[in-house]
Homo-oligomer: A and B are copies of this chain.
């Protein structure tokens, strides 16, 4: 279905590398970009180069920041530095922030352990987390430190969670994970039996 216009084909090819964008969608996007002409093309390129130039890793939590060495959350005086929520990627932070029920800090592992895909513990920000925990323990020797593991509830998430517990060793750290249960607004009919089992085990008094 291609018009055999080489420069257009190159754009289509680059767009198919984006997640969830197949050949047909990429064609539709490329034709749209062509039709929109200079202004949109320019705006998109500017946005891409600004992101490349300005967005860096936060040196403490490994999320993104574009206005300082530490990200907004890490440098906020309103957040509790003694609670660290461990997530897979920066995107997850946005989700947890949107819930409005968390006032601690984050730590982005930049993946989860998955030997099949070649992701080993040394590829993740795990040693960085251990060092960070040691620092917090040093700065607040008399206070409790909590690590909330907010990884996906799948094999990779569970493996990473176990590994994390292991490398924390005997450090005086409270390790928790997100509660499993019935999603808000969901019909019980549609919940799988494992989730429902967990929701029953972890039932809460009214």
Contacts and interface: CB of A to CB of B under 8 A. Distances in A.
User: A interface, how many residues as a size bin?
Assistant: 35 or more
Contacts of A65: 5
A40 B14 CA distance: 8
Interface string A51-65: 110110000000111
A40 B150 CA distance: 29
A206 interface: no
Interface stretch (A21-29, A115-123, A156-164, A181-189): A21-29
Contact of A10 (B37, B38, B50, B91): B50
A107 to B, nearest CB: 15
A95 B1 CA distance: 5
A31 interface: yes
Residue with the greatest number of chain B CB neighbours at <10 A, chosen from A5, A6, A10: A5
A94 B45 contact: no
Most chain B CB within 10 A, of A17, A21, A48, is at A48
Contacts of A35: 89
Contact of A20 (B25, B38, B91): B25
Given A4-B72, A19-B29, A29-B19, A55 B34 contact: yes
Contact of A43 (B14, B47, B50, B97): B14
A98 B1 contact: yes
A7 B47 contact: yes
Q: What are the nearest 5 A-B pairs in CB distance? A: A1-B94, A11-B47, A14-B47, A7-B50, A41-B52
